[in-house]
Amino acid sequence: MRESKKILVMMLCTVLAFTGCTKHDRSEEAIALSEEIVSKGVTNIEHVSERIDSAEQAGVFTAVRANTIKAIVYTNADRQRLATYYAEKAIAAEAGRAVTTQADSNLHCKARWILGKNAYADGEYGKSLALAKEILAFVGDGTTPNDIEMKCRALTQMADCENKLGHIAESERLFLQCIDIQMESTQHATSFSEIDPLIYTLLSLNDLYIDNKIPGKALPLMAKMDTAMNRLTRCPNAPDWVVQKRRKNVTISKAMVYAANAQSSESHPSSLEDGRVVKDEDVVNHQKEQAESLYHEYQQFQGLDALDKAAEGVYLTTMGRYDEAVRMFDETDSIMRTSGEPITDLYVKTLFNYKYDALQKAGRTADALAMSDRIRQLTDSIRQQERLADVEQMQEIKQKEEEIARKHQSLMIHRVIIAAIVLLLLLAVYIIWRIHRYNRLLTEKNRSLYEQIQQREQAKAEEQRQLQAQPEESLTTEQQLYRRLCTLMAEQQPYTEETLNRDTLAQLLGTNAKYVVQAIHECSHGDTVMDFITRYRLEHVAHLLKTTDDPIAIIGELSGIPSRATLARLFRNAYGMSCSEYREVARAK
């Protein structure tokens, strides 16, 4: 029983291993492969997707990790519907699973951040806020770099949503909270990827203040921007192009802040207690000088791209140099067209909307109306392109779902087939083991029976020797007849004749059959004549089995039992084993 249990346990463990129910920890391999896939970008997104699927099937990636990595890849490829689809799948896959490692925590937050980012792009600000709050609640007071990164992403996402909802004060509070966390966490940072988000947040808050005509609040941020740039510059791994880009961003942003403050001071002079209006021209002039100084510094940068030119146009508009601003926007438009830049919402926002504003402020009403019509047409075209892109991505999603279902079904079929084959093999091994064990036990039993048979035959032989050795006068009439009968059976072997019976024995002994029956019954412990004859025949069969290679059927005929079925039945009843088993045991002895 104990051995049977071991076999069953071995079978169960093997099946579980083949069906993927027992897996060892491959988290380090999964993290390394994830970083490799994301870092290689989206040059061949289909190949990347296949690698992720292969990693999931091989058990390197969990379903949560596989779907989150796909969501990141599609986000980087600007395919938001697919990114949303896989982020939702990642969140669904983690349902009911405990988040126990930092890697799991990172995946948990990133899937929700991607989903919230895309919800924001679709104007679902409430959903985006809810997802960002989930991230904050999950991260809590975590202080690891990943925790801080996800916390700041959630805060900036919430700030953007609150801004869109018109909650400027709440948006400002969230941006400032994020900046405080980033300023503290990057004091000793050595990686530009930790500092760059701080600069981006400062730029976003500057835009919030300028767009809502409260540029004075941006002035305290100037020192923080300088500090952030100093930290970025001293990072050993910061690429030159990143430092150059952020320096340009910071320079033009600071120029806009000073320009906006100068314009605000001119438009809204200070009021004294006696009602007199005072405009501090020295302050205004100083701010304009600072703005112009920064603007000239900005113009000295090499490789200003279309977006840089657009920012320059916004600055000129802020300074009231509307005609120059319009020319700058036209130059930007020309650069974008030459480079084949697709027309997107960002294109319209950073160029045409600002150009429309400059035209209106310049008093060029007709041109402004024409630009308004163009903006409307471009916006309609963009929406149409987005709808077509959505349809294509939804079709792709449907195809991928069908493909996943087919792969899953095929995988399950393969696993079932493999499990069935393994079970059959294990069952065959178990059956062979059982047969071997049965044969071993049977052999041991037959050996024991053979020894008992030998002992019994020896006892009978000794009994007959004693009977033969006794004086005739001391024997009864029945014993004397029985002794003659045994001598007859041993010397003439009449039992080899199938027709041998009591009458034949009586005739051979020259006596009456009744006396033969009485002698056998008294001297053979109550045996009948047929029992007596059968015993001699079976002993002869056993002797031939032991000493010859004759077939069992022939041995039966030579021993007076021509029926093989009868021989098998009589031999098993007498010896407890078959003729073949007896021959095997006897020869082994």
User: Does residue 47 form part of some domain?
Assistant: no
Between CA 137 and CA 109 the distance in angstroms is 10
User: Does residue 53 form part of some domain?
Assistant: no
Q: Answer for the pair 113, 153: CB distance below 8 angstroms, yes or no.
A: yes
Closest by Cα among 199, 120, 200, 192 to 162? 120
Between CA 517 and CA 506 the distance in angstroms is 9
User: Does residue 503 form part of some domain?
Assistant: yes
Closest by Cα among 312, 297, 310 to 349? 310
User: Does residue 482 form part of some domain?
Assistant: yes
Spacing of C-alpha 319 from chain mean position:
57
**pLDDT score recorded for residue 28:** 79
Structure tokens given for 132:
């960002």
User: Does residue 17 form part of some domain?
Assistant: no
pLDDT in tens, 217-228: 999 999 999 999
Q: For the chain, which residues score pLDDT lower than 70?
A: 1-26, 41-43, 96-102, 267-280, 341, 589
**pLDDT score recorded for residue 6:** 54
Between CA 130 and CA 115 the distance in angstroms is 11
pTM over 0.85: no
If one counts the domains in the chain, the total is 1
Q: Check the CA dihedral 380-385-390-395 and report its sign.
A: positive
Between CA 426 and CA 6 the distance in angstroms is 12
The CATH number of the domain where 528 resides is what? Answer: 1.10.10.60
Q: For residue 192, what are the CA distances in angstroms to 144, 225, 355, 415?
A: 16, 15, 34, 47
**pLDDT score recorded for residue 280:** 67
Phi, psi of 270 (to 5 degrees): -75, 150
Mean per-residue pLDDT over the chain, rounded: 84
**pLDDT score recorded for residue 77:** 83
User: Does residue 366 form part of some domain?
Assistant: no
For helices 63-76 and 80-93, the axis angle rounded to 10 degrees is 160
Q: Answer for the pair 335, 305: CB distance below 8 angstroms, yes or no.
A: yes
Q: What is the total residue count of the chain?
A: 589
Structural domain range at position 500: 470-588
User: Does residue 547 form part of some domain?
Assistant: yes
Here the contacts of 524-532 (C-beta below 8 Å, separation 24 or greater) are 524/482, 529/501, 529/502, 529/505, 530/501
Q: Answer for the pair 529, 505: CB distance below 8 angstroms, yes or no.
A: yes
User: Does residue 215 form part of some domain?
Assistant: no
pLDDT in tens, 34-65: 777 777 766 677 788 888 888 888 888 888 88
| Element (DSSP H or E) covering residue 270 | strand 270-271
| Element (DSSP H or E) covering residue 277 | strand 277-278
Specify whether the backbone of 340 is left (phi greater than 0), alpha (psi in -120 to 50) or beta.
left
**pLDDT score recorded for residue 96:** 65
